Structure 1
């Protein structure tokens, strides 16, 4: 297996996700050095990235969002077969440009202590999650949120 220490610029494709043992993973859409030399219908080059460094993992999970332009440095492992993404273990991360802040037009997210709710103008039902992203349930209407949270805390011993 061929490895190479390199630096790559690209856009974060989807929100970085926590991995096992304190790692974070994300896909990077690699920016070509000279975009004019790449055919318009050429597929994007995707590099699967992982970081084990606590500082970088924290930044990935708390500060990076899709479409951020980043520069990553680390050890690149070529894919075992064509068509699979290369894998990069990230040792350094630099944010070159941030994506625009997403605007929720018809939806609003709000916090209820250790819980998050999403209000949608098109529906009375309100999805409820813990702040860590665990599904709690669907409140029939905004007035039922407190009851749903109370039931969840009773069933789970008060742990959100």
Structure 2
């Protein structure tokens, strides 16, 4: 990523955290040959939503938050369980392992389409 703008570079290095929902505009320059690098030139960077706050600092070192569309997934290195919430904070459920996320999200969406929790 090219960061000629000092403010953008500062925001990326100091203000953003994994899990922040961003809107990035700019352009992507694809390589013309396999040996050339790919370039992403960012012209604007906007934080649409900040990542959820974590209360236990030790958990940050062993955990990962990822977004899947409107869902936020909490992966903890100490277990195979994946805790899932909507980006609005609604509890979706726990997948026993990452491979089961699709089934959990599909079941949640079917419940929502049917009019709520069952």
Instruction: Provide the TM-score with structure 2 as the length reference.
Output: 0.46
Q: Which has the larger radius of gyration?
A: 1
Structure with the bigger percentage of helix? 2
TM-score (norm 1): 0.34
Q: More relative contact order in 1 or in 2 (CA 8 Å, sep 6+)?
A: 1
More strand by share: 1
